[in-house]
Homo-oligomer: A and B are copies of this chain.
Amino acid sequence: MATITLPEAEVETGKQEMKKSATKYVYFFGGGKADGNGKMKDVLGGKGAGLAEMTNAGLPVPPGFTIQTEACREYMRHGAASKDVDRQMDEALAKLEALQGQKLGTGENPLLVSVRSGAKFSMPGMMDTILNLGLNDKSVDALAKVKNNPRFAYDSYRRLIQMFGNVVLDIEKPVFDEIFDAKKKQKNTKFDTGLDAKALLEVIAEYKKAVKKHAQRDFPQDPHEQLVMARDAVFRSWQNDRAKHYRRINNIDDMLGTAVNVQIMVYGNLSDTSGTGVGFTRNPATGTKEFYGEFLLNAQGEDVVSGVRTPVPIRELQKIMPDVYDQLRDITTRLENHYKDMQDFEFTIQDGKLYMLQTRNGKRTGLAAVRVALQMVEEGLITKEEAIFRVEPNQLYDFLVPRLDEKSTKVEVLATGLPASPGAAVGQIVFTADEAVKKAGHGAKKNPVILVRAETTPEDIHGMEVAKGILTSRGGMTSHAAVVTRGMGKCCVAGAGDITVDEKKREMRVKGQTFKEGDWISLDGTTGRVIKGKLNTIPPKADDPELMTLMGWAEPFRKLRVRANADIPRDAVQARAFGAEGIGLCRTEHMFFGEKKLPHMRAMILAREEKYIPAALAEHNRKQRTRLTLKQLEPGLQSDVRQRAQELARRGALKKLLPLQRKDFIGVFRAMDGFPVTIRTLDPPLHEFLPRREDLMVEIAVLEATKPKSLKLTGLRKLLARVEELHEFNPMLGHRGCRLGITYPEITEMQARAIFEAAVDVAKKGVKVHPEVMIPLTATLKEMANQAAIVRRVAEEVFKEKGTKVDYMVGTMIELPRAALVADEIAKEAEFFSFGTNDLTQTTFGFSRDDVNKVLPTYLAEGILKQDPFAALDRDGVGQLVRMATERGRKTRPTLKVGICGEHGGEPSSVEFCHQVGLNYVSCSPFRVLTARLAAAQAAATDTLKVEGGRTK
């Protein structure tokens, strides 16, 4: 297959070019020719590369030049731009002046420019922009004359002073706002437009005074000085808090820096044949092939953003300026054909003349991504192979959650918060978890409710479980609400800061409106929008035919199998529907938390040894050929006998759990007929099944202080004693995993029995069953051997009893660094490995996942970590262990099956890594199966097609 060229590959080429000419800081564009081109996003930023490409394509772009990102990086390092940068900028400015026949801020028709940031990845609104640069006390009059519009000229000048004062000279915005508002008051007008040229001249005078006062210097009248200062301010804006925050959230490298684009000014607010707008070549929400966007007549970009005037759909332009409209359609179609992708563009019309200000590949929903890719293949724009890369695997989640049907009613967006957990939810507001439970009701009487909280806490869980969606006014993407709802696959909008939640009054206030308990709202967790009223929802469609077509192109490449993590039959059925090829992790402990099972589990843990001491003692005496009472035994042996008595007690309780586990396994095996099912033996420390220690301590202390004769006390004290016994300082590193199975072999025995009895049961009924018994938390060969021996012995026992055999394997989780280091040893006993990368990340980094949020925000903000290692697999550290264990394990056992069942199994870049390492499968939550399938296919296709980083950005 031939090598195909994809956008990212082009960027690579651009990068090389940059290296060759490391000292070229300034790239000119104009007069139909540009120094740079569209491939040079690394160097010129997205905007600069787009401008160069459009210029080269002969499109009407306001000419100018781009100061490349290396200049910004140097500025960050040295605190000043180099002389080379200054010199090259001056040369470019001279060229621009020559091209335009104007001088910057000088002469009768002064050249005015905009100075804009433009990084490799779009960071809308995060950095600073300065317009109208070049205006001063003299040139403003020239402009007034040229444009024949003094008000326009003075308004432009006062805007420059305001922007420059704020951005360059660090003067607080209110300083200017107060002057402006006072002037409006004085002139008795509510609108900016109420100020005429004279009034604006007064404003300018006061602005200049304010600059002098606050910046201890005059507003610079020298246009060149303005330019240098503005350029440096844009460089600095790369480091402002907003920009840093945005990069942190969007995982953008802090070291990239921004380019600076200097362009001649064009004005959409000069006349009624002027205007400005934005658009997409196809519908970014649905993918429909339609010219989509909006524009404003006689306005500047600012006006669109500020929301004072409502833009009109772009098709209206066809009526108002048909020629311009046709030209715009023609240009954007050419752009789409050129970039072979849907374009997101900006334009300005100045006195009937169209200027293209920006074009880039448009952001889109998952639905749109799939549809656009398919259309483009049909249109012959891209190949099927390229289409595979046009969808971000994560976007497929859109197909698995309901969406709001925005056509069903008028959409009034109340606020936009963080898209914390995708999907849609429509329901009646409740403000407490208890109310949620009450209002949601049971059975037939179910009401949809939306739980609205300032922020959620673990105490709200019961309310979150019954609610359709969660809305919080505080907290980020990793807040409690966000994390919990994502786990539940439930829609959540978090940190909608415009909303005030008054939990006392039980109301929420936003945009001057007040909402009470029972009012309807709709949430869009995919975009973060909070919408007033009751919208309809569109159910998810994982079997969308277009999606199926795309997956059909992608799947043949895929080498990794994709399994699901599912603990109960229902989840297994769901996973299979999403295309899971087996269960990679069935956590048996989750089966114990059910109402029916927890009491038996507790009975096992609290096993009353007393009843069994005689039996254990008799056994001991028999073995030791002695005839002693418990007290006569030496302390060590006494405790041995007690332990044996506890074991006997545990065995009693386990007997009651056996049939319940078996039933669950039967359900899971049935759902996965024909596919392997990996079942992990008990993993969590036993205290997780008991009440919390501190709660018991408090309860006892309070009872002792108030009702010291309460009969409850004895029981509580006994319970606490056992809880204390099981208490651990670091449960993550505690008595769990195979350590439980080794100290309480009867637990492993019971579980193995339940597994094999279930397997034989379904096998007899014709189900193809492949149990894989997985031992958790091994660190040594001997642990593995100990547990594998129990499993194999029980398997043989069951097969003998039932007269039927099934194929099975015994393997282990690799989730401790030591296991990876001695994987060659462990593979002697383990027939498969499954990387538990959650725990492996915890131990490799020494990060407790439950506590890491105390550190992680700072680490991401300071750039110490680029990503949350629990979200995306840390290739350098954890990945090194994954690779090492895989290689060493297969050295011992070439047929070793290796997979991953941590949450990374559903994260695209981690899936790619698993493919590169050569694992056999990944396993993830059912809702991530589609994503993992596509990510695996992309990774393999990247290999096959010999392209690098084929994914589109």
Contact = CB atoms under 8 A, between A and B. Distances in A.
Contacts of A121: none
Interface in A719-774: 728-735, 737, 739, 742-743
Nearest to A473: B635
Contacts of A636: 245, 476, 495
Contacts of A729: 731-732, 848, 850-851
A394 interface: no
B702 A864 contact: no
Contact of A730 (B623, B702, B731, B862): B731
Interface of A: 166, 170-174, 241, 245, 473-476, 495, 497, 621, 623-627, 634-637, 640, 693-694, 697-698, 701-702, 705-706, 728-735, 737, 739, 742-743, 777, 779-780, 782-783, 786, 815-818, 821-822, 825, 839, 842-848, 850-851, 854-855, 858-859, 862-865, 874, 876-878, 880-881
Nearest to A777: B846
A733 B241 contact: no
Given A627-B172, A705-B702, A818-B877, A851 B635 contact: no
A817 B842 contact: no
Nearest to A699: B701
A647 B114 CA distance: 40
Contact of A497 (B241, B635, B854, B865): B635
A693 B815 CA distance: 31
28 contacts: A173-B626, A174-B626, A241-B623, A241-B624, A241-B637, A245-B636, A474-B635, A476-B636, A697-B698, A701-B701, A702-B702, A702-B705, A730-B731, A731-B851, A733-B851, A742-B858, A743-B858, A786-B862, A817-B877, A818-B846, A818-B874, A818-B878, A821-B844, A821-B876, A821-B877, A821-B881, A825-B876, A843-B846
Contact of A734 (B634, B848, B878): B848
Contacts of A847: 733, 779
A848 B705 contact: no
B864 A782 contact: yes
A346 B410 CA distance: 103
A636 B494 CA distance: 12
A694 B817 CA distance: 33
Nearest to A214: B625
A268 B374 CA distance: 101
B173 A848 contact: no
Among A697, A730, A850, chain B packs the most CB atoms within 10 A around the CB of A730
Nearest to A739: B855
A854 B734 contact: yes
Nearest to A625: B172
A787 to B, nearest CB: 10
Contact of A705 (B241, B706, B782): B706
Contacts of A634: 497
Contacts of A698: 697-698, 701
A650 to B, nearest CB: 14
A280 B733 CA distance: 48
A635 B476 CA distance: 9
A166 B625 contact: yes
Contacts of A822: 876-877, 880
A817 to B, nearest CB: 4
A495 to B, nearest CB: 7
A733 B730 contact: yes
Contact of A864 (B245, B701, B780): B780
Given A858-B742, A876-B821, A863 B735 contact: no
Contacts of A733: 730, 732-733, 842-843, 846-848, 851
Contact of A625 (B171, B497, B780): B171
A290 B851 CA distance: 64
Contacts of A640: 241
A250 to B, nearest CB: 15
Contacts of A697: 694, 697-698
A91 B180 CA distance: 118
Contacts of A706: 705-706
A623 B850 CA distance: 34
A739 B862 CA distance: 12
A732 B851 CA distance: 10
Given A816-B846, A843-B844, A843-B846, 10 more contacts: A170-B625, A698-B701, A730-B851, A734-B854, A735-B854, A739-B855, A779-B847, A818-B874, A818-B877, A843-B843
